[in-house]
């Protein structure tokens, strides 16, 4: 499992591929320095987020449909009483 980014890591700049550059290593060619860290987002992470958000959306939509039907029944019943 990926570790969350620390506040220090969030302040580091990006290169053009969206990969965070280590502080002070962006222009360094030393082999012992690691200039690139893991990408901010991954395809599996993006897909997981989209799937969970879609599931939430569908659940909310289904609940809205239930609430709508209940209100229509109440309105119909209250109209019949008058």
**Is residue 23 pLDDT above 80, yes or no?**
no
- The answer to whether the Cα torsion of 18, 19, 25, 27 is positive or negative is negative
Average pLDDT over residues 2-20: 53
How many Å apart are CA 14 and CA 5, to the nearest integer? Answer: 14
pLDDT tens-digit series, residues 30-45: 555 666 677 889 999 9
Average pLDDT over residues 17-38: 57
**Is residue 28 pLDDT above 70, yes or no?**
no
Neighbour tally for 44: CB within 10 Å:
8
Give the predicted TM-score (pTM) of the model. Answer: 0.48
Tell me which of 82 and 43 has the higher pLDDT: 43
State the pLDDT at residue 35: 61
Average pLDDT over residues 25-34: 55
């Amino acid at each position: 499992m990926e570790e969350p980014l620390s506040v220090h890591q969030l302040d580091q700049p990006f290169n053009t591929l969206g990969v965070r550059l280590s502080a002070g290593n962006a222009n360094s060619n030393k082999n012992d320095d690691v200039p690139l860290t893991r990408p901010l987002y991954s395809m599996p992470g993006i897909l997981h987020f989209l799937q969970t958000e879609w599931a939430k959306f569908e659940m909310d939509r289904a609940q809205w449909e239930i609430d709508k039907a209940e209100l229509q029944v109440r309105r119909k019943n209250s109209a019949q009483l008058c």
